[in-house]
Amino acid sequence: MTLPDGIDGARVGEVAGLDALIVETVHASAAISLFGGQLISFRPTGYGTDLLWLSPQLAAPPTPLRGGVPVCWPYFAREGQPDDVPSHGYARTARWEPIGGGNTADGTEIVLAPVGLDDLDLRLRMTVHIGATLHQEIHTHNPGTVPLTLTEALHNYFRVSDVTAVRVQGLDSLAYLDKFDASSRHVQHGDWVLPEEPARSDRVYPNAPGHYRIVDPGLERVIEVSVHDGSTAVVWNPGPEVAAGMADVGPSWREFVCVEAANAGPDVVEVSPGGTHTLGQTISVTGLR
C-alpha cells in the first residue's frame, strides 16, 4: 500500500501482528490498524506509557479488536437493530484505507475510509490528527433523498494503572442507564469510581457535557477527553466475573477503563439528505499535580 503524498513521518508497518499505519513525529507516536480503522496506540512525546490499552490476547481477524479506539458505526451495540447483526456495527471489522492527509505545524493528519460498505445507506470517513494532543473525527454522510438515523461511538480503551484506583470526573449529578441493571435509571453522585460489589460498570449517560478527566494516581497522570457533537458518555469495565469469560480480557480487566464518546441510547442522530454529521474527540494528557 502507498500512502497519499505529503504525509511525513507516517509509514505502513505491523503492530501486534496487524497491518497498521505507524506515525512517528517529534510530537507523538501512534498506530492505526487497517483492520477496523482502529487507533491502537497513542503516546505523546515524554510519556512512556501508552494512553491506549490493547489486549495482549488479541483474537485474529475477523474477530473485532479488543482495545484502542473501536469505531462503532452505524449503530451502537445493537440499538434499533435485529439480533442477527454484528454488535457495534460494520466499521470495526471492515478494511480501511488512507485516502488523504498531510502535515500541519503541530502534527500529522490522516484521512481514512472503510472498504466494502457501499451497500449501506450512509457513508463514512475518519480524520485523525496526531500531535501532542490527538483529535479524531468520524464523518457520516447521507447521499440519499430521505433523512436517516444512526447511533455511534468512539469506544476508547484507556490504559490505567489499576481501574479500581482511578476516578472519572465530569459526570457528577448526571442520570445514567445501567446496562448491568436492565438499563434502569440512576444518578451519578460525585466522580465515577468502579463499584466494589459487584466490581463492574456499563453506564450510559445521555445528555452528557462532553468533557471528562481520568485521574490515575498510579501512573501519575490525567487523561482529558473533550467530545464534539457527541451527547452520550459511556463508561465500561467488565469487572472480574464477566472478564473471566472473555478470552481477550481475562485477568487484564484492571488495566483499562472505557470512557466513550458517543451518540447512543436516547441520543439518536438524524442525518438530513445530502448532509454530514461529525462526531469528534480531543484526547490529551498531563501530569498529576
pLDDT 10s digits, 204-257 = 999 999 999 999 999 999 999 999 999 999 999 999 999 999 999 999 999 999
**56 to each of 134, 150, 238, 248, 281, how far by Cα in Å?**
23, 32, 16, 7, 26
What is the model's pLDDT at position 150? 97
pLDDT for 42 equals: 98
Q: What is the pLDDT of residues 14-41, one digit of tens each?
A: 999 999 999 999 999 999 999 999 999 9
Looking at residue 140, its pLDDT comes to 98
* Residue 5: per-residue pLDDT: 81
The pLDDT assigned to 4 comes to 83
Class for the domain spanning 56-93+113-287: mainly beta
Confidence at residue 8, expressed as pLDDT on a 0 to 100 scale = 83
Mean pLDDT by runs of 10 across the 289 residues of the chain is: 84 95 95 98 95 96 97 97 96 97 92 97 98 98 98 98 98 98 98 97 98 98 98 98 97 98 98 98 94
Exposure on the CB side of residue 128, measured as CA atoms within 13 A: 27
Q: Left if phi > 0, otherwise alpha if psi is -120 to 50, otherwise beta: which for 50? A: beta
* pTM metric for this prediction: 0.97
Contact 134, 282 (CB under 8 A): yes
Q: What ranges do the domains of the chain cover?
A: 56-93+113-287
